[in-house]
Amino acid sequence: MASFPRAAMLAQALRTPLIPVFYHVEAAQARQVLSACYEGGVRVYEYTNRGPQALAIFTELQRFVEAEYPDLLLGAGTIFQAADAEKFIAAGADFIVSPVISAAVAAVCQRHNLAWLPGAFTVNEIFQAMEMGADIVKIFPASMITPAYIRTLRGPLPEVPLLVSGGVTPEPAALAEWFRAGASCVSIGSQLLPPVGAAGLAAHVAELLRGIKNATLV
């Protein structure tokens, strides 16, 4: 079962606000990428439910994390159904990420005292997600907006933790814009990997986290 209650997940996401999002059909590759991200400073990591082997690989990855990186929060993403949320929570998920707002998934997370991160886009959807118990709201897809949109959301929603996701460019200057606009954290998928794959990933992640820290200190 999970090791971190929902409050711990939110606190850690705010401390290390870069959340990699990754899926691979080979457990060895998944471990390699996760290890590089951890070495670079990541402490919150999302493995996505996007293939028939996702649950089995997640289970193996969670055992690896418990043995090697006990301070890392490993969550399950792309969760649409309550039954899938239950399966990944039983496998040790520390949080659940959904592309949509689902009352059933929200209820599962609340029952297990785990953080729920649903996807939303409009002020109405964000408010609805928070009313259902969202700990962080995922603004998705970020490829359809600019940082100015996040800045506008901060008018009526100054305190809601916002995760910008889906098309975020993994460059220090680009990330700085999102955080200066009011993003609480960002998630980045396969774009995070350098052209040569996992080689150099730890240094790249460390550079991005330094850029985020500098942006939030301005």
In a domain, 1, yes or no: no
CA distances from 144 to 36, 98, 137 (A): 29, 18, 16
Q: In this structure, is residue 172 part of a structural domain?
A: yes
Structural domain includes residue 175: yes
**How many domains does the chain divide into?**
1
pLDDT tens string for the chain (218 positions)? 567 889 999 999 999 999 999 998 889 999 999 999 999 999 999 999 998 999 999 999 999 999 999 999 999 999 999 999 999 999 999 999 999 999 999 999 999 999 999 999 999 999 999 999 999 999 999 999 999 999 999 999 999 999 999 999 999 999 999 999 999 999 999 888 876 566 789 999 999 999 999 887 65
Number of neighbouring beta carbons within 10 Å of residue 173: 9
Q: Which residues constitute the domain of residue 195?
A: 6-217
CA distances from 156 to 36, 138, 177, 179 (A): 38, 17, 20, 17
The answer as to whether 91 is a domain residue is yes
Residue 77 sits in a domain of what CATH number? 3.20.20.70
CB neighbour list of residue 28: distance below 8 Å, 6 or more residues apart: none
Query: Is residue 119 in some structural domain?
Result: yes
